């Protein structure tokens, strides 16, 4: 446990140094740092480009997306105070930033929901990992202390059942993107992820366990109050909440509609 804690702390320090070096090499007056969960990389990279070309911007404000696990983003910001906008994978992390006085509001953007992802096994085999009858099915499981998806699923199943899933897993990961890569590459058979994770790799399928279907996670954007570029940050948050941004989120699987249990072939539409 001590070794793991030390490694986690080192990872946070290295991430802070990388952000600081990036900030030092750019124009600080025109670039805003967006602290963002890795599961949102697809739409956020596209939205970064759209914002740069938008008529309200014309390249005046540049966006730098920094991707880390939601828990790591909070730990990094507590130490460094580097960042202008937060876009976490679950609204609970915005609540923690608000409780700490780092932001005071959340602009809702979209929803995603927890699911099981797989490639070559059957839907029934994928669902079996939630029971004790899946001895030969290998899994990749997000760590609840790092990944928003892990904490969300632990809240559905209960901490003890989720701990059993972690104990039985072939690998446990700090981000949901790592889980998706494990499943897509065949390192494991099944992973716990967001439905939007299946859009990262064309060979991923997903199934939503019935008891998970009512537990969508809201994503949103918050302007960080300590930002020296707060007006620029607010402009970008407004853009993320615009109809054009909503279309991008929908193409990556984000939704606000009622969820149904079904198997879906991955890939961006």
Average confidence (pLDDT) over 142-156: 90
Q: What global pTM score does this model have?
A: 0.80
Q: What are the boundaries of each domain within the chain?
A: 2-111+217-251, 114-215+261-265
Q: Higher pLDDT residue, 257 or 227?
A: 227
- Homologous superfamily of domain range 2-111+217-251: Periplasmic binding protein-like II (3.40.190.10)
Is residue 179 within 8 Å of residue 187, measured between CB atoms? no
Mean pLDDT of the chain: 83
Q: What is the pLDDT of residue 134?
A: 59
Average confidence (pLDDT) over 107-111: 92
Residues whose CB is less than 8 angstroms from the CB of residue 5 and which lie 6 or more positions away in sequence, other chains included: none
d(CA 69, CA 60): 29
Do 2-111+217-251 and 114-215+261-265 share a fold?
A: yes
Residue 38 has pLDDT above 60, yes or no: yes
Average confidence (pLDDT) over 232-243: 93
Could you please state the CATH topology (level 3) that the domain comprising 114-215+261-265 is classified under.
D-Maltodextrin-Binding Protein; domain 2 (3.40.190)
The mean-pLDDT minimum among 128-132, 151-155, 224-228, 261-265 falls in: 261-265
């Amino acid at each position: 446990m001590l070794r793991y804690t030390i490694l986690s702390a080192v990872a946070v320090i290295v991430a802070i140094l990388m952000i600081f070096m990036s900030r030092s090499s750019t124009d600080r007056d025109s670039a805003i740092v967006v602290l963002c969960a890795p599961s949102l990389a697809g739409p956020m990279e596209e939205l970064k480009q759209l914002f740069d070309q938008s008529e309200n911007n014309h390249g005046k404000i540049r966006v730098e997306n920094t991707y880390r696990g939601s828990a790591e983003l909070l730990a990094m910001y507590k130490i460094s105070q580097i960042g202008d906008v937060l876009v976490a994978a679950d609204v609970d992390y915005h609540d923690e930033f608000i409780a700490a006085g780092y932001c005071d509001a959340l602009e809702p953007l979209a929803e995603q929901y927890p699911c099981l992802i797989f490639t070559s096994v059957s839907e029934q085999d994928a669902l079996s990992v939630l029971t004790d009858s899946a001895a030969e099915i290998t899994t990749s499981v997000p760590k609840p202390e790092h990944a928003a998806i892990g904490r969300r699923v632990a809240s559905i199943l209960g901490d003890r059942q989720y701990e059993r899933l972690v104990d039985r897993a072939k690998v446990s990961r700090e981000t949901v993107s790592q889980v998706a890569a494990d499943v897509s590459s065949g390192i494991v058979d099944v992973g716990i992820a967001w439905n939007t994770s299946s859009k990262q790799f064309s060979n991923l399928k997903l199934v939503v366990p019935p008891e998970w279907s009512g537990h969508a996670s809201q994503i949103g954007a918050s302007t960080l109050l300590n930002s020296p570029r707060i007006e620029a940050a607010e402009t970008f948050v407004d853009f993320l909440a615009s109809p054009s941004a909503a279309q991008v989120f929908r193409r990556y699987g984000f939704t606000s509609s009622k969820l149904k249990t079904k198997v879906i072939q991955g890939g961006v539409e």
